[in-house]
Amino acid sequence: MAKKSTKSVNKTKNPKPAQGMLFEENYLKRMHQQLTSTPDMALAELVANAWDAGAFKVEISIGKQDDGSKWIIIEDDGVGMTMQEFQKRWKTLAYDRVRHQGAKVVFPSNAKKVPPRLAFGRNGIGRHGLLCFGDSYTVVTKSSTNSEEIGFKVSLGTEGNPLVFEEMTVTEPLVGKHGTRLTVQVEQRLPQKASILRLLSTRFLYDPQFSISVNGEFASLEDLKRQLDTQNFQVDGMSFEMIILHASSIESGIAFWQGGRLVGKPSWILGNESIADKRTRAGRDYSVIVKTNDLAEFVQEDWSGFRRERIDELQQVFDEVGNRYVEYCRRINRENFDSARAELSEEFSEELKSSTASVKHEFEEAIAAIYEALPNASKATIRAALTMVLQLGRKRGGVELLQKLTSMDGESVESLNAILEEWTVRDICIVLDEIDRRIKTIEAIAILSQDENTPELSVLHPLMTEARWLFGAEFDSPEYTSNQWLATTAKEVFKMKDTSRLTIPRHRADIVVLGDSTVSLTGTLRVATDDDLHYTDRVLLIELKKGRSTLSDDDESQTLRYAREILGMKEKSDIRIEAFLVGHQIGKNISGGVYNDGAIRLTVRTFSSIVDSARVRLFGLRDRLRERYDNLPEEQLRQELLPGIGR
C-alpha cells in the first residue's frame, strides 16, 4: 500500500479544540458503543455517508505500510464540504441531516442528470465511525462549488471536550476534483478485504451509479440476478417490491431494504411470528428482499432495526410479506409434490408393506395435506405426522375390527350392512367425525360460557368460530376472520385494496363471516334463519362477551358500530348484516329482542339459547347419544377443541 495516503496528517497549524459543554472522557465511545466497537456498523455508516454526499464511487483501501503500521482510507467523489459546512456538520454532535439538508441527496454541481436519491443519515454520528479503529482520524475534503481543499485531524478529547479538531495543511490532494477522504491508523480490529466486501455486498443494494471498491475489487449484490420470484404490492399507501432468491452470500431470511440499505439483519421472524424454520428448505435455501422507500420514519437511527415503539404499526406489512412467502412455498411444494411423495414413500416403504390399501391411501392424502397446510414444515415434523398416520391406521385395522364385528347382535349387523350398500367406511368416518366434533363444540360452549374466568379471546372465539354454522348454513364459509382488525377483515374477506374509508380500521370485531351466496336449503325443518333461504350477499357479525357476562346497551352500541363499519366496506347497496351479540345473560337496559333497520339486523342472544338451538339443528343427536356425551370432562374438551391453550 502506498505511503502517500498518510502524508496529509504530517503538518498541523493552529490547533482549534471543540467548543461546548463539559463532557466526560470517552463520551462518544460510551454513548455510541455499538458504532465505535462494531467494525461492520462503522464501515456501513461511512459508506452511507458517501451515498448521502452524492458520491458515485467509494474507494476503500486497507493494508500495512512499510513501517508495519495499519491503515484504512475511505475516499469518495461526493459534493465535499466548504470550511463553513465542515464547521457546522462535522463539529455538531447528533447533527440532524434531514432538518438542515433535507431528505434528498444533493449531487456535485458538475454531475449529469441522475435519478433522485433518499439520504440514509439522520443522527449525525456515523461520520465518526473510524473511531472504531483508532482514537483519531483525518478528514480531507473539497467542495464541488469551492476550490479550497481543507483538512482536519479529529481526536477523542480529554475531560471537557468529547472531540478535538486540529486544522492541518493538506499535503496530499484528493484523487478527484471534489469529495472527501477519511484516514485512520488502525490500532485495533483491522478488517480483512474479503469480509468488508461481503459486508458491503449485503448491506447496500446494487446501484449501477454507485460503486464501492475495496483495494480495487468491487462489491455488488450479485444474488439479485438470481431472482426466483418478484411481487409488487401496497399496504396502507406504501409501495413494496418483494424479491425471492436463492440464499448464497446473502443470509437466509426476510430482509427489509429502505432506500437501498438493509434495515437490521435478515430474519424469519416478523413482529412476533416466525415465518420459517432455518432447519427447513424454506428457511435455509431462500432469502427474501423487501424493497421500499416508504419506511424511513420507522427505521432506528443506527439502522439496527425498526423502532420498537412503532413496530405494531408495521404488523399489516409483516402479515402481507409473511402470507406471500408462505403462499410461494406452498406453490413450490405443489410443483415438487410428486418427487416429495416418492421420497417419503421410499422412506416409509417397510411400514407401508404391512399396511392396508386404505391406510396407504390415507398416507398419500396426509402428505398432500401437510404440504398444503404447512408449506414450511421441517422434515422431522413431516416424518412425525406420517408416523402417527400409520400408527392410527394400524390401530383401526383388522384385529380390532373383527373383534367388534363378532360381538355385534343381528340387528346391528343388518343395520351396518344396509349402510355399507350406500356408503363406504371412509364416508361414514368423515360424517361421524364431523358430527362428533360439532356436538363436542356445543358441549364445550355450554360448559365454558358458565365460567366467569373463561376468556373470550383464547377460548370462546375459537369455539364460536367453529360453530358459525349455527347462524345459518351459508356462514359455514372459508371467508371469515376472527379477532382481526377491521382493516384486515376488509382485505381478507372483502378483498378490498383501499381501506382509507374505514373510520375505525384498527378496532377488532370478534367474528366476521361472508356468506356463501350459492347455499340454498329446502325441507320441512327450518335450519336457516326466519327469512328467505337464498341469499345474495350476507355478512355474519358475532360479538362475544366473556363467560358469565351480562350484556349492556354499550355492548349493543359497539356491535351496531361494527356492523355499520362493515356495511360501508362494500359499495353494493343490497348487502345485509346479520349481527349477533352473545353473552351469559341480558342486562336490564336492552330488550334482548331484534333490532332491524333493513340493512342491519342485530339479535341479542345468550350462550344457553344458542346451545339449545344447536341441539335442535343437530336433529337431537346429542340426546340420542346421551351416554356418549353426558359428563364429558372439561379438560378433555379443551384438549380436543383448543389444543395448546389449556387452562
- Report, as an integer, the average pLDDT of 414-433: 68
Residue 331 falls within a domain, yes or no?
Answer: no
The CA radius of gyration of the chain, in Å to the nearest whole number, is 34
Is residue 183 very low, low, confident or very high in pLDDT (cuts 50, 70, 90)?
very high
In this structure, are residues 34 and 41 in contact, taking their beta carbons and an 8 Å threshold? yes
* Residue 424 DSSP one-character state: -
Q: Is 437 in the same domain as 544?
A: yes
- Report, as an integer, the average pLDDT of 139-156: 89
pLDDT at position 175 is 83
CA–CA separation, 75 vs 62, rounded Å?
A: 12
Residue 320 falls within a domain, yes or no?
Answer: no
pTM: 0.45
Q: Is 432 in the same domain as 533?
A: yes
Is pLDDT above 90 for 73? Answer: yes
Residue 126 cell numbers, joined? 456515523
pLDDT at position 390 is 79
Is pLDDT above 90 for 257? Answer: no
List CB contacts of 492: < 8 A, sequence separation 6 or more.
481, 484
Q: Is 622 in the same domain as 582?
A: yes
Looking up cell 438493509 gives 262
Distances (CA, A) of 446 to 381, 439, 550, 619: 35, 11, 16, 18
Q: Is 377 in the same domain as 256?
A: no
Is pLDDT above 90 for 536? Answer: no
Model pLDDT for residues 17-63, shown as the tens digit of each residue: 545 455 555 666 666 555 556 777 788 888 888 888 889 999 999 98
In this structure, are residues 58 and 215 in contact, taking their beta carbons and an 8 Å threshold? no
Residue 521 falls within a domain, yes or no?
Answer: yes
Residue 78 falls within a domain, yes or no?
Answer: yes
Is residue 290 very low, low, confident or very high in pLDDT (cuts 50, 70, 90)?
very high
Is pLDDT above 90 for 140? Answer: yes
Burial environment of residue 432 by CB neighbours within 10 A (0 to 12, 13 to 18, 19 or more): exposed
Q: Is 76 in the same domain as 162?
A: yes
- Report, as an integer, the average pLDDT of 224-232: 77
| Cβ atoms < 10 Å from Cβ of 176 | 19
In this structure, are residues 315 and 228 in contact, taking their beta carbons and an 8 Å threshold? no
* Boundary of a domain, candidates 191, 219, 247: 219
Q: Is 212 in the same domain as 296?
A: no
pLDDT at position 15 is 55
Is pLDDT above 90 for 352? Answer: no
Q: Is 446 in the same domain as 397?
A: no
Residue 326 falls within a domain, yes or no?
Answer: no
C-alpha angle 577-614-448 in degrees, rounded to nearest 5: 95
Residue 414 falls within a domain, yes or no?
Answer: no
Mean pLDDT of the chain: 77
Residue with more model confidence, 318 or 371:
318
Residue 329 falls within a domain, yes or no?
Answer: no
Q: Is 43 in the same domain as 154?
A: yes
For residue 199, give its domain range: 3-219
CATH of the domain at 84: 3.30.565.10
Mapped onto helix, strand or coil, the DSSP state of residue 613 is: helix
Number of domains in the chain: 4
In this structure, are residues 170 and 152 in contact, taking their beta carbons and an 8 Å threshold? no
Residue 330 falls within a domain, yes or no?
Answer: no
Residue with more model confidence, 250 or 61:
61
Mapped onto helix, strand or coil, the DSSP state of residue 64 is: strand
CA–CA separation, 553 vs 300, rounded Å?
A: 44
Q: Is 263 in the same domain as 340?
A: no
Is pLDDT above 80 for 266? Answer: yes
Is pLDDT above 80 for 353? Answer: no
pLDDT at position 184 is 92
Is pLDDT above 60 for 397? Answer: no
Q: Is 11 in the same domain as 104?
A: yes
Q: Is 42 in the same domain as 182?
A: yes
Q: Is 428 in the same domain as 576?
A: yes
